[in-house]
Structure 1
Amino acid sequence: MLETIEVSRVKRFAANTAGRDFAVGDIHGHFTRLQAALDAVGFDPAADRLFSVGDLVDRGPECEDVIKWLNKPWFHPVRGNHDDYVCRFDTCDIGNWMYNGGVWFVGLPLTEQQNYQVIFQELPIAIEVETAQGLIGIVHADCPFPSWGQLRDELESPESNKRLKQVQNSCMWSRRRFEHQETQGVEGVRALVVGHTTIRSPATLGNVIHIDTAGWMPDRGYFTLLNLKTLETIPTARPALSQDWDWD
């Protein structure tokens, strides 16, 4: 397996010649459930890699386990909007964050909060992974441009801090593509993998694959793993769940 090359806010990974590459949807502090999903596919930490679309924390009971996972050499996340709350904990709308699951963070000592802030600020906004079939892009929510190359340029060489903030916020927050069911896709990548918008089953719009199937909602959702070589989603069909509701 080749070493990664990190350039600013975009992290690049060479093709995995030793094992498999998977992507997973939003985690939200449910690392035990994530491990169970990995065990089900026979994940091999010596050869396989796991790419996360972000939202590692908030809402779930194991948010502080995120440090253990970030230290795993095979685990590679982008920054989600909930992870960005940690980056901005001293300036963000704290009430909104608490309402959306950030209570775990409030009781931590200031030094620990600052440590989390530094670690999360190092998370890239975008990841690209080489495969034999073509380049795979990963962001939390969406690519706000028609091409991956333009996103890469905007993140690596922004014209201003204001412009950079706009682009990063789109990558972490936008639901435009899914809400409007846009199918034109993103040029320059074989597929773009995103989470953020919670859906019953994985959905593909153009070459954009949405994989947040609510693995962080016990009894109501499940973790989808996407094989980056084959673009197969696992499980291949929505499992029977003990609860359900009308999803927007």
Structure 2
Amino acid sequence: MTFVKHFERNTSGRDFAVGDIHGCFKLLRTDLDNMGFDPSRDRLFSVGDLVDRGPDSELALEWIDEPWFHAVRGNHEDMAIRYPSGNMDAANYAANGGAWNVGNPRHLQLAFSCAFDALPVAIEVETEGGLIGILHADCPFPTWRDFTVSLDDANMSNKMRKAVFEAALWSRERIQDEDVSGVPDLRALIVGHTPLKSPAVLGNVHYIDTGAVFRGGYFTFINLATLETVPAMQKKLEWEAA
């Protein structure tokens, strides 16, 4: 399998990315309807964390099967992948929102694990303005090309691959450091993982997880053609962790 999935430019409709879903698929459907999202022409890209904490996590498999919906794996998918093989402690998993899956029969746990393990770590989308990368947490290399080449390098050691995956799915280093250096060979990098009260931009890295699953949170969408958010961003660089 490839850990990087490439999409050509959408010439017939719109492309959006959405922040962490966390089992709020019914709310997401309502928001898409309100935006006039047309699944026959438009595409929706997810920054990962499809499941845990919210009420509709079991719908994740249905959404993954939709031809217009494309997700990278997040750290919560990582936990669901590891849990059936005994590489994730049940109590820790449940404490992080995975109780719905801990309670699933084993065949369903395996179905979610298999489906999430088939998701790419990174997505790249061609737009008129240039290439856009989509990840859950962060790009741990100086350039996007260095990162994507490393992901699919068959000669990479298991130890190194684990470190690269962990950074891509779990790291908050860039946002904690308020690092504005960006990723130079991308038009923009779109990520989630860190819930914020409003979306943030550091360099060309856009943080769009506005905590839809939490009280007071909401879904942020970003139009990949214009890099405008829905709802519109009020304060571009003023961000604060929720």
Q: Note whether the superposition's TM-score is higher than 0.5.
A: yes
Please say if 1:149 is aligned against 2:139. no
Q: How many angstroms apart in 2 are the aligned matches of 1:93 and 1:184?
A: 37
1:247, CA displacement in angstroms?
A: 4.5
Q: How many angstroms apart in 2 are the aligned matches of 1:180 and 1:93?
A: 30
1:64 matched to which residue of 2?
A: 58
Q: How many angstroms apart in 1 are the aligned matches of 2:48 and 2:211?
A: 13
| Length-normalised TM-score, structure 1 | 0.91
Q: How many angstroms apart in 2 are the aligned matches of 1:50 and 1:189?
A: 19
Q: How many angstroms apart in 2 are the aligned matches of 1:93 and 1:134?
A: 42
2:39 matched to which residue of 1?
A: 45
Conservation of the 8 A alpha-carbon contact between 2:140 and 2:164: yes
- Please show how residues 203-242 of structure 1 align to structure 2 within 5 Å: 203-217=200-214, 219-237=215-233
1:109 matched to which residue of 2?
A: 105
Conservation of the 8 A alpha-carbon contact between 2:90 and 2:102: no
- Please show how residues 13-162 of structure 1 align to structure 2 within 5 Å: 13-89=7-83, 90=85, 91-157=87-153, 159-162=156-159
Conservation of the 8 A alpha-carbon contact between 2:15 and 2:42: yes
Letter in 1 for 2:56: E
* 1:99-155: CA deviation from partner (whole Å, max 9, x where unpaired): 010000012111111111111100000000000110000000000111000100110
Q: How many angstroms apart in 1 are the aligned matches of 2:79 and 2:162?
A: 14
Structure 1 moving runs of 4+ over 6 Å: none
Q: How many angstroms apart in 2 are the aligned matches of 1:96 and 1:52?
A: 25
Gaps of 5+ in 2: 235-239
* 1:155-211: CA deviation from partner (whole Å, max 9, x where unpaired): 010521111110011000000000000000002110000000010111000000000
Letter in 2 for 1:68: E
Deviates more, 1:52-61 or 1:89-98: 89-98
Letter in 2 for 1:17: T
The SS at the match of 2:62 is: helix
The SS at the match of 1:88 is: helix
Q: How many angstroms apart in 1 are the aligned matches of 2:161 and 2:233?
A: 39
Match of 2:161 among 151, 161, 164: 164
1:37, CA displacement in angstroms?
A: 1.4
- Please show how residues 165-204 of structure 1 align to structure 2 within 5 Å: 165-204=162-201
Q: How many angstroms apart in 1 are the aligned matches of 2:7 and 2:241?
A: 35
2:237 matched to which residue of 1?
A: none
Q: How many angstroms apart in 2 are the aligned matches of 1:78 and 1:125?
A: 5
> RMSD of aligned C-alpha atoms?
1.3
